[in-house]
Amino acid sequence: MNKLIRKTVNKILDENEQAREDDNYLILKVVQELEPELAGTTFFNVMLNLGYKKISLESITRARRKWAEEHRDLLNANVEDARRKEEENYFAEYAKKY
């Protein structure tokens, strides 16, 4: 399923600028494409069934990061800066705890 997820993520990111800027939107589009019957159900049902369908949210975001490394020219600089700052804040908060 990982190759299918990667291929689907790449297709969506190539075609949809909003998916490049919003991970939640990207996840929604991937679920709609791979498991359309889940897309119209409750959030609880989607999250419960993703594991059974072998779809990992981490796989989707990992595929997005890999795509972003290869397509820097298509990314919005402001979005990447915000994402990088958010990640730095996360690691700083994590380091404070331990």
pLDDT tens for residues 3-30? 899 999 999 999 998 998 889 999 999 9
The pLDDT of residue 82 is 67
Collect the ranges in the chain with pLDDT lower than 70. 1, 75-83
The pLDDT of residue 32 is 93
The pLDDT of residue 30 is 94
Q: Please enumerate in sequence order all residues whose Cβ is within 8 A of that of 26, keeping only pairs 6 or more positions apart, or say none.
A: 9, 12, 13, 19, 20, 60, 61, 64
CA torsion through residues 69, 24, 8, 1, sign: positive
- Identify whether the C-beta of residue 4 lies closer than 8 Å to the C-beta of residue 33: no
The pLDDT of residue 1 is 54
Q: What is the CA radius of gyration of the chain?
A: 15
The pLDDT of residue 69 is 86
| Segment (H or E) for 91 | helix 77-97
